[in-house]
Structure 1
Amino acid sequence: MRPFLSYPRIPDTVELEIVSVSVDGRDLPYSQISRTEKTVALHQTGRGDWDLATLHLKAVLPDQEIADGPWSDVVCLAVLSENSTNVRSTARLAKGRDGTWQGKIELVRGRHLRRAVLSLAVVGEVNGVPGRAIGKSEAPWYLDLKESTPRRQREIKIVEADFREASEEWLRGFKDSAWVVATVEDPEIPIVYLNTSGVEGLVEVLNGTSGSAAEKVLRDTTTSQIAQDAWIAMFHTAVSNLDQDDDGTPIMPTGWQEPVLKMMLPDVLPGRQLTDALREINECRTSGAGWAELQTNIQFAAGKRSQIAKKLTGAVRTVDREERSEP
Structure 2
Amino acid sequence: MATVAYPYETLPGNIDLKVSSLKVDGQSAEPFVEVNDRRVDLFKCKIDGWSEAVVHVSAQHPIAALQDYLEPLLSDLTLTAVAHCQDTNMRQTARLDGPNVSDDYARWTGHLELPRSQYAGEIKLKTVLSGPVGSSPDRYFGESRAWSVWFEEPPTHSVTGSIEILWNDFSDPEDTPDLADYQDRTFYLDLGSRPTLYLNSSFDGLLDLLEGEDTENVHEAAFRESEYYSIAQSVWLAMFNAAASSIKKEEQDGRYDFPESEWKRKVLKKMLPKLMPEHSPPDALRRINASMEGDVDPWIQSEALSVIDRLIERSAALRSMFDRINRSS
Give me the TM-score of the superposition, normalised by structure 1. 0.50
Give me the TM-score of the superposition, normalised by structure 2. 0.49
- Between structure 1 and structure 2, the one with the greater Rg is 1
